[in-house]
Structure 1
């Protein structure tokens, strides 16, 4: 009688891996490094092999919080990983649309004028977000990570790092005051407050449905937004908005709190206003990340990048201007 035994030939057994850490990989924790390298392996197993000393750095045991240095050699023990299903590919038209939206690119940074309606990452029923589409268009790129985020319906400037060192530098600038974010927004109603600083704290809730809702609440985090009018019409006001903090839905909630919600906002907006502005051709949220000022992580030179409004939003402003005559 024959018995079936698993094939344990050397060709099929996982082998010890020795990985040399490059400068771009330095600074990350060993546990996060392993989670990236061992995709498909449960985190509980990764922490177990760390605790047991099966992972070594420079032949020595390390703790999960150890931060890798350039030149380190990491020993990864034999570990079998589950085969992952084939990843679906974004439509070619979507890839081409995103590539056409790139405003700047060098060896470490991509600046994109994100179209409205494109989420920055997949999830919640979306197969592809901007970062998945970008990775699909550059399958050999070793590193592509979002520096920050924009709401799905918000258009405009978005930074993507091609190097870990660039990501770290830009995150440090974002945490401090090294990045200035300027938006263009159309707000409902006639703005008569001039230059206005809004400092209401924002508190984030997640509903049972999974939807995120942000409210002005004293329990919330500090938030600071500056509103400055550019053109005021009968039905709405075209504004420059500067963010000094980066809270979820900050501009939309602060604008509504000030009594002038963002035009086209289905979550925090005024439905009567949204309906009226459709007569001027508005079909989406009128919120656009217009300008970014920061220091380039590689050259250390100041960057000042502008993404003009698209034709559809420009046409809405033209229609409002014509209605004034």
Structure 2
């Protein structure tokens, strides 16, 4: 038999999810069977797994110690732990140019550099999730304990940016952080603003509304002004900040968060984002190639779309998330934006 007490970082999740984190090798069917037979109880009473656990709740496992150990999974030996820790820190160190702008026990907000994935697309990829794990391990006074805790909750990115989109990214350091940030993003209470350089003269302001249809084969998205079964609604508010006649600096607020949303919408308007290799026009691509041939010392070429997640505005918040209440977090635009507007 074993008794587990739910802590503050674990509260709010369903009981079956809590059990899965504690015994990751056990199938969900095992938990439901044990709950039905009262071999697992919540505060001494029968439960079905759908209950939301709260801090201080007592979960009792009337199971053999051997069963608990088997389903808990293998715990790495000290040498294995050391190797895993070194590998994660080394992976984190390979990602340069990250600036941490906010950090507490639940949430970390930092900048994602150009060319870095938010999350892995393949097993060999390096992403901001690996950076986050290495960063936390590097500053932890008990690295082995923190690594073991990753088996129950792995810190991860909450809002995904395209590989070649720069700027602010929100990371969950705890389970409550993950639930709260995910809910803010889902309900659009977290306001997200971007700045971008687009081709052509674009002044004024407006709202882009329409439907986006994704082609999974080519990993491209197309815009439509008509609803269809496979389409998702997308809406963006925008305003022009400046223009040099051939290019314009635009600020946009995402009212929906769709894949490639800004890139597709502005390309549809006839103002593709400068440097966008996927949705830019042939004329814009030729201008970008010309910019690449500028004399040495005139600045680096545009290796991807000039799009930056530059501002986050949080709603009123309470409790553990009170420090983020109505907080505005910003980051500076990379110098390449100025070069593009001067070209």
In the superposition, the TM-score normalised over structure 2's length comes to: 0.76
Between the aligned partners of 2:192 and 2:244, the Cα distance in structure 1 is: 25
Report how far residue 235 of structure 1 moved: 3.6
Higher helix proportion (structure 1 or 2): 2
The two structures, once aligned, show a CA RMSD in angstroms of: 2.9
Between the aligned partners of 1:94 and 1:278, the Cα distance in structure 2 is: 33
Structure 2 unaligned spans of 5+ = 138-142, 292-300
For each residue in 1:163-184, what CA deviation from the matched residue of structure 2 results, as whole angstroms up to 9, or x when unmatched? 3334333334334453221111
Distance 1:132 1:304, change over 3 A: same
2:120 corresponds to which residue? 122
2:304 corresponds to which residue? 284
Report how far residue 48 of structure 1 moved: 5.0
Following superposition of structure 1 onto structure 2, how do residues 70-219 of structure 1 map, counting pairs within 5 Å? 70-76=55-61, 77=63, 78-79=67-68, 80-81=70-71, 83=74, 89-90=87-88, 92=90, 94-95=92-93, 97=95, 100-139=98-137, 140=143, 141=146, 144-191=155-202, 194-207=204-217, 212-217=219-224, 218-219=227-228
User: Structure 1 residue 254 and structure 2 residue 265: aligned?
Assistant: yes
In the superposition, the TM-score normalised over structure 1's length comes to: 0.79
Equivalenced residues, count: 300
Distance 1:298 1:260, change over 3 A: same
* Matched residue SS, 2:262: helix
Native 8 Å contact 2:193 2:311 kept in 1: yes
Structure 1 unaligned spans of 5+ = 1-15, 321-325
